[in-house]
Amino acid sequence: MIVKELKITNSNGDSIEFGRHFQLTNGLDLSNLSANVSYSESTRDGANYQLTVLDIREFDLSFFIDYNHRENWWMEERRRELFRVFNPKHNPMRLDLTTKGQETYYLNANLVAAPSLPQGFENDNGAWQKGLLQFSCDDPFIYSSTSSVVDIAVWNGAFEFPLEIPSEGIEMGYRSESLIENVFNNGDTETGMIIRFKALASVKNPSLVNINTYESLKLNFDMVGGDVIDVSTYIGKKTVTLTRNNVQSNIFYAVDLTSTFIQLNPGDNLFRYDAEEGIDNLEVSMSFTNQFVGV
């Protein structure tokens, strides 16, 4: 993959951008992700397939320092900069990249060693110095840098400026009639999401149902006007947060025992929202980030 821009940021917030003093030697190879495929014994020929688990992602990043006959002190500063930012004790690192086609992605990776500089910082040509970074990723996925947001139930504005109000009045807004909305996951794998329930007035026990899988997420909670509830269904990051009068609180207890923290499958996902009371006062939206096996 040809990378046009690359920025690497460590867990302390320190970063290096490649493109000026530090240049990439080659493209960034994020292919060849291996997987463990599990089987069980079978009474017939072969075996029974069980599941597939992706391995950790491992890759190297080769670069060079644009020395260009500068003074030794300048090279020493670049050396300190490299070891300060690319310190394995400051894992994990975030790699933000832009491809030649202007697509933007990021991935989280861990340095497995300090920067490798095979010839030290002295050069025969006095112009550049090679270097190498070695990474492994416990999370093997590559993420889109932009999140997708889908509004299922929302009030839409119905006027624009310049505005003339006729004698019979004017419709200030209208509500989407459909209770069902398709959410398209353009990624390579299922992903969690943030489900947002917003109450314009009183709402009792809001819920969301995946029509394809019949999975549902229901909250046993009475919302008042202005309440916002954000439900994270990301694996390992499941939360239910109420924002009322600009104060956030944990209401995980409100999740109905029959609920599922719904995931988005690749492709189409049909959802229907509901509430036991006040459904017309409810706005629902979902946000998620596409995940890719390779780019």
Low-confidence ranges of the chain (pLDDT < 70): 68-70, 118-127, 154-178
Write down the H helix ranges in the chain. 72-85
d(CA 231, CA 252): 9
d(CA 1, CA 19): 16
| pLDDT tens for each residue of 13-22 | 999 999 878 8
In sequence order, which residues have a C-beta less than 8 Å from that of residue 91 and are 6 or more positions away?
A: 10, 11, 110, 111
d(CA 186, CA 198): 26
Q: Return the pLDDT at 79.
A: 82
Q: Return the pLDDT at 167.
A: 59
d(CA 12, CA 89): 10
CA distances from residue 246 to 133, 240, 249 in whole angstroms, order as listed: 44, 16, 10
Write down the residue that tokens 């004790």 correspond to. Answer: 89
Q: Read off the pTM.
A: 0.82
d(CA 221, CA 203): 8
Q: Return the pLDDT at 75.
A: 77
Q: Return the pLDDT at 83.
A: 93
d(CA 102, CA 199): 38
Q: Return the pLDDT at 153.
A: 72
Q: Return the pLDDT at 224.
A: 97
Q: Return the pLDDT at 117.
A: 77
What one-character-per-residue DSSP string does 156-167 give?
EE---SS----T
Write down the residue that tokens 């095979």 correspond to. Answer: 118
Q: What are the phi and psi torsion angles at 159 (to 5°)?
A: -145, 160
